Chain A
Amino acid sequence: MAELLDIATRVVAWANDGEHIEAYVVHERETEARAYDGKVEAFTSAESQGIGVRVIVGGKQGFAYAGTLDDDALHETLREARDNATFAEPDEFNGVAEPDGVAAVELELYAPGLASFSTDEKVELAIELERATLAADRRISGIESAEYIDSVYESAVATSTGIAVLERETGCYLSTYALAEADGEIQTGFGFSIGRDPRTLDPGAAASDAAERATRLLGASKPASERLTVVLDPWVTAQLLGIVGHTLTGDAVLKGRSMFAERMGDTVAHSSITLVDDPTNPAAFTATTIDGEGLATRRTPLIDNGVLTGFLHNSYSGRRAAAMSTGSAVRSGFKSAPGVGAQALALVPGDRSQAELIADIDNGFLVQGVAGLHSGVNPVSGDFSTGAEGLRIRKGALAEPIREVTIASTVQRLLQDIIAIGDDLEWLPMSAAGVSMVVGDVTMSGA
């Protein structure tokens, strides 16, 4: 959709002398089909668009947005952003991104096949997902939801420094929440399948994952508190990496909100840890060729064999840190100015399977799910406490299910207490890849 870029460049061309403008324009088409009881519970067909305009004048920054793209809205948004800038205080490092000569990689993020996938086929997929979930195990008593979602997302960034880029991507997603019941007790589990073309989605795999997650916890009990070795499932590790990634952003580091601010070059993690943010990796579902400010994305090493080697920067934090932007400007839609964040984090995997790692553990806990990371983890202090459920490990083998416990440590200690990384790296529907991780000496709180 070339018009998006036209709109962005047109707004930027309205810049006054001495003024810098960045326009971010998006258009999204989304459909969602929810199945229940073998029928369509809800079908949503949605189209949305919007623009976010950032103005910097005399080092002062203002921002405004609108959810429509008519001419009046564009003018009003620019006017508001200009007016907002006059009330901010100057910062010499404020500015839009400057072209840095780094060429964007070529990625196939757009699957043309989505356009020819009919409404009936989408509905059929959602209904098939529900059917497969209910049939996956005799203990599955119902579903909370089974849905198919797809989107075509287009975004354009233009700046008064000459950036004018467009990105277009498709995404398709199946997700199911199963309820399992035995002896009057209910447990839940989710499963998903993700891709760029709906024909690559696998409802059977999503269904069996959901059934497996729901049934494996049936009969779980609450154990006594103790310190033990934990194995984090890939799904859990990926969420932990998201928190670590946040502490390594230029914004957190420069504003004194990261425990790693003064630790560049130090050993901050076990020597098995090599962490990289690489949104150019086509295997990542969050892969992208341009960042939120229109710069090419790139591979950024963060931790190398345990040693802190890099932080993530957008153009503001890069200038302020006397470094370059790492192409890590991220946006949460068009309603806010770009921040800085990880886009596709991954650990370099080890060479042993989860089963082999477990075989070495005499007394442990395979953590298959966590709850409350947003309320129990403080990314500034590093305090880490989260609800957890999963299976006990006894004498090298998986044992009984446990639930209603927490595991606690600090982010700093967790990284140092890592014992091994598995070989089972998998990309998940979040900005990090999962892999099994063994951590020693973690407090499990229970009864």
Chain B
Amino acid sequence: MLDHELINRTLSTAMNTGGDFAEVFVEDKRSSSAMFDDGRVEELTSGRDRGAGIRVIVGDTTGFAHTADLTEAGLRSAAEAAAAAARGGGGGAKTVAVSPIDVARGVPARIPPEDVAKATKVGLLTLANEAARSEGVAISQVSARYGDSRRRILVANSDGLLAEDDQIRTLFSVSCVATGDTGLQTGRESTGRTVGFELFEETDVEDMGRRAAQRAITKLAARPAPSGAIPVVVGPGGGGVLFHEACGHGLEADLIAKGASVFANRIGDEVASPLVTLIDDGTMAGEWGHFAIDDEGRPAAHNVLIQDGVLTDYMWDQLRARKEGRPSSGNGRRQSYQHLPMVRMTNTYITAGSDDPADIIAATDYGVYVAQLGGGQVNTATGDFVFGMTEAYLIENGEITEPIREGNLIGNGPEVLTRIDMLGDDFKMGSPGTCGKDGQGVPVGDGTPTLRVTSLTVGGTAA
């Protein structure tokens, strides 16, 4: 993406005032999307963003500047700005020579999005709409969205690292509104993978449309959700958000370092039920949170965070890892070249257990079965977290009975982790997500088998 000599000169400029570390992150991202709404293809959007972010670290201070000007002059002025921002002490010049590192590339996209005609992409939207509307006259509105992106990145730093990646992602979603005597209800279905247009060889958009429609129609008959602490069974693929919030964020080393996590100083402790093994894995080819290198040039890795209930490690970016004198775990990510990297999750999942999912439901006298979760939020310092249920049912006498309306569930991470008493053998990855932290969004994946929490507070209105 950039000439190596130019990179060397830019890094040398960045180190000119005596920095301990300098880094150039170059990004060239093309995105396109098509939106269907209200009975027609509403709009197509496409765009391009490219630029470089330059970071200089002096002692405990990071200086950062970014530019959309990738000429030598543009890069030099960003490098000088970053060096000045880090307020280097003028410790003498240092020349930098970078060399490429060998990184196992992910499986390349077979059908890059730019090779697919816009008309073909648009055609998928129409199919999804027709399939959704065919589910019944109750379906009063359908929107569908296709999106793809190709993000090429280059990372080089004053340690001599030089690495590149080419990340292609494709996303499709359908949202329906159903209208009935009880008002309006919504249903959504989405899929996203780090692949090209071949996504649609394995994904049936008509099926997605039908499922989104059924979800909305089912909810028209939903009762108010219960209120209070009761057993909660989360279906396969759905529970990832729960772990992402209940402990994932709390295991990020930047929050640990500031004492802003309930999991600080807990390595080696039993923090969860012995059934729980939690892994964060950026190497899972094709998954939404997959990449070959992170946004600091480190290869993606398979990191075990909790093994059989025992906390084994946190997630690390370069900044925190350097301070601790250990390698980064490949979790340094950023939204774009305009942002500083920080510790982020990739694909976070709980490994499968041995229970038959049917037995988990049968073993529950009264509770809630959550088939699809919405987003969530956590206060890592207290461990209190919420997550939304967008498709859920009552469990009565060991059977799934009536649908219930949407709402949040609330719990405390360290408490909930110890209350997982059944884990299914039906592991599945969940829907693609965008994780937000400090105003930056990055794509993340998650997965779980069916699992049961003995007690969680369901935020409904029914007694």
- The reply to whether B177 and A257 contact each other, CB–CB distance below 8 Å, is yes
Closest to A258 in B: B184
Are B40 and A89 touching (Cβ within 8 A)? yes
For the complex, give the distance between the alpha carbons of A187 and B228 in Å.
23
B92 contacts the other chain (Cβ, under 8 Å)? no
Kindly list chain B residues whose C-beta atoms are within 8 Å of the C-beta of A87: 34, 41, 44, 118-119, 122
Residue contact B406 to A378, C-beta cutoff 8 Å: yes
CB distance from A437 to the nearest CB of B (A): 19
Of A39, A83, A256, A383, the most chain B CB neighbours within 10 A belong to: A383
- CB of B51, distance to nearest CB on chain A (Å): 7
Main secondary structure on A side of the interface with B: strand
Q: How far is the CB of A318 from chain B (nearest CB, A)?
A: 16
How many residues on chain A are close to B (CB under 8 Å)? Answer: 81
> Looking at the complex, which of A197-205, A233-241, A277-285, A401-409 is the stretch in contact with chain B?
A401-409
Tell me, yes or no, whether B412 is within 8 Å of chain A by CB: yes
B374 contacts A by Cβ under 8 Å: yes
Contacts of A386 in B (CB 8 A): 386, 408, 459
> With the chains together, A47 CA to B68 CA distance in Å?
8
Given contacts A84-B118, A257-B177, contact A387 B382 (CB under 8 A): no
Q: Are B459 and A445 in contact (CB under 8 A)?
A: yes
Q: How large is the interface on B (under 10, 10 to 19, 20 to 34, 35 or more residues)?
A: 35 or more
Chain A residue at smallest Cβ distance from B47: A65
- Chain A 61-80 against B: per-residue CB contact (8 Å), 1 yes, 0 no? 11111111000010011001
Q: How many pairs, one residue from A and one from B, have CB atoms within 8 Å of each other in the complex?
A: 264
The distance from the CB of A219 to the nearest CB of chain B, in whole angstroms, is 12
A380: CB under 8 A from chain B?
yes
Contact mask A254-295 → B, CB, 8 Å, 1/0?
111101000000000000000000000000000000000000
Question: In the complex, which residues of chain A have a beta carbon less than 8 angstroms from the beta carbon of B228?
Answer: 224-225, 445-447
Q: Is the CB of B45 within 8 A of A371?
A: no
Binds A, one of B56-64, B194-202, B206-214, B275-283: B56-64
B183 touches A387 (CB 8 A): no
A48 and B68 contact, CB distance less than 8 A: yes
| Cβ–Cβ contact B375 & A375, under 8 A | yes
Within the complex, the shortest CB–CB distance from B372 to chain A, in Å, comes to 12
A235 to chain B, nearest CB (A): 15
Report which residue of A39, A61, A186, A256 has the largest number of chain B beta carbons within 10 angstroms of its beta carbon: A186
Contact call B184/A406, Cβ cutoff below 8 A: no
Complex: chain B residue closest to A188, CB-CB: B381
Of the candidates A88, A407, A443, the one whose C-beta lies within 8 Å of that of B43 is A88
The one of B44, B255, B385, B458 that contacts A88, using a Cβ cutoff of 8 Å: B44
In the complex, A64→B410 CA distance in Å?
41
Bound complex: CA of A36 vs CA of B62, how far in Å?
Answer: 11
Q: Which of B228, B338, B385 has the most CB of A within 10 A?
A: B228
Looking across the interface, which residue of chain A has its beta carbon closest to that of B186?
A380
**Docked complex Cα distance between A41 and B260 (Å):** 16
Contact B457 A375 (CB under 8 A): no
| A406→B405 contact, CB < 8 A | no
Assembled-state Cα–Cα distance A144/B87 (Å): 23
Bound-state CA distance A62–B32 (Å) is 11
Contact pick for A36, options B60, B376, B386, B461, CB 8 Å: B60
Interchain CA distance A61-B44 in the complex, whole Å: 8
Q: Would you list which residues of chain B between 15 and 74 have a CB under 8 Å from chain A?
A: 34, 37-38, 40-51, 59-69
B-binding residues in A (CB < 8 A): 36-37, 39-50, 61-68, 73, 76-77, 80, 83-85, 87-91, 119, 141-145, 177, 179, 186-188, 222, 224-225, 254-257, 259, 335-337, 371-372, 374-376, 378, 380-383, 385-387, 389, 403-409, 443, 445-447
Interface of B toward A, CB cutoff 8 Å: 34, 37-38, 40-51, 59-69, 81-82, 84-87, 118-119, 122, 140-141, 177, 179, 183-186, 219, 225, 227-229, 255, 258-260, 262, 338, 340, 374-377, 379, 381-382, 384-388, 405-412, 438, 457-461
Task: Identify 6 residue pairs between A and B in the complex whose beta-carbon atoms are under 8 Å apart, listed by A's number.
Answer: A43-B61, A91-B40, A224-B228, A256-B177, A259-B183, A375-B386
